[in-house]
Chains A and B, each alone.
Chain A
Amino acid sequence: MQVQVRLFATYREIVGAGQLAWTLRDGTTVGQLVEAVLAKYPRLVGHGNRMLLAVNHEVVRSESVLREGDEVALLPPVSGGAR
C-alpha cells in the first residue's frame, strides 16, 4: 500500500521535500513508518523524540495501523513562543 508523508519546517528542510510517497506492507504502524523514514534520512534521528505524529490531520499514537492513502504528517514542535 502507499501513503503520503508530509514534512514541515525543520524536517522539510532536512529531507529537502515537503511530501514523499511511501510504499509499505499492509499492517504497518505509524511508528514503523517513522523508523523507516529516519533510517533513510538519518539527520532526522535527533529530532525523533520530539516529533508529533498525525494521520489524516489527527494526532495519533505510534501504534496506529496505517491504511492505503493515509496522509501521515511528521510535525516538529510548534514554534509558538513564550508570550
Chain B
Amino acid sequence: MIQIQRSRIDVEAVVNSVRRDDAGAIVVFLGSVRSDPEVRALDYEVYRPMALRTLTELVERAKEKFGALEMSIVHRVGRVPVGGDSVVLACAAAHRSEAFAACAWAMDEVKRIVPIWKTEAGPRRPRAKPDGNPRGRPAAHRKVP
C-alpha cells in the first residue's frame, strides 16, 4: 500500500496490508506532529506523481536491501494538527532485525528524497482590518474544520 491522502490514516489498515503468514515481525512507525508553542499544525505539500513513484521505488529497494517481505507507506497532505499522524510506515519481515532495519532505513529515505514539504501553521491571532473589524489570518493560518 502506497498512498498519499488528505484524510486521517487508518493505522490498523496499514498494518493489515503487510501481514503475511511467513512474516514473524511487523514494525510500524508513526510520524506525528509534535507540539510546540508556535505550532498548531503542519501543512504538507506534495509533488504527487513524483512522490508516489519515489515511494514505490524505495519500498522495492527496502525489500532487496533488507529482505523485507512487505512494506506500506501512507503519508498525509494538507493540514495535520498537533498530535495527528502525518506518516505511517509498516514493514513485515521474517524476523524483527530485518523489519526494524528496513523500517528505519525507509523512513530516513522518505525524509530525504520524497518530494513532500511541510510548513508550520502558527496559533490563530485575530488581526484588525483598516476599518477596525477583526479578521482571521490568511489561508495558511486559517482554522480548517
Chain A residues packing against B (C-beta within 8 Å) = 6, 8-10, 54, 57-58, 73, 75-76, 78-81
- In the complex, the answer to whether B112 meets A8 with C-beta atoms within 8 Å is no
Chain B residues packing against A (C-beta within 8 Å) = 45, 47, 49-50, 53, 110-119
25 A-B pairs within 8 Å (CB atoms) are namely: A8-B45, A8-B47, A8-B117, A9-B45, A54-B115, A57-B47, A57-B49, A57-B50, A57-B53, A58-B53, A73-B47, A73-B115, A75-B47, A76-B117, A78-B112, A78-B114, A78-B116, A78-B117, A79-B116, A79-B117, A79-B119, A80-B110, A80-B111, A81-B111, A81-B118
Chain A: minimal CB distance from B64 (Å): 19
Cα A54 to Cα B116 with chains together (Å): 14
- In the complex, the answer to whether B116 meets A73 with C-beta atoms within 8 Å is no
Kindly list chain A residues whose C-beta atoms are within 8 Å of the C-beta of B111: 78, 80-81
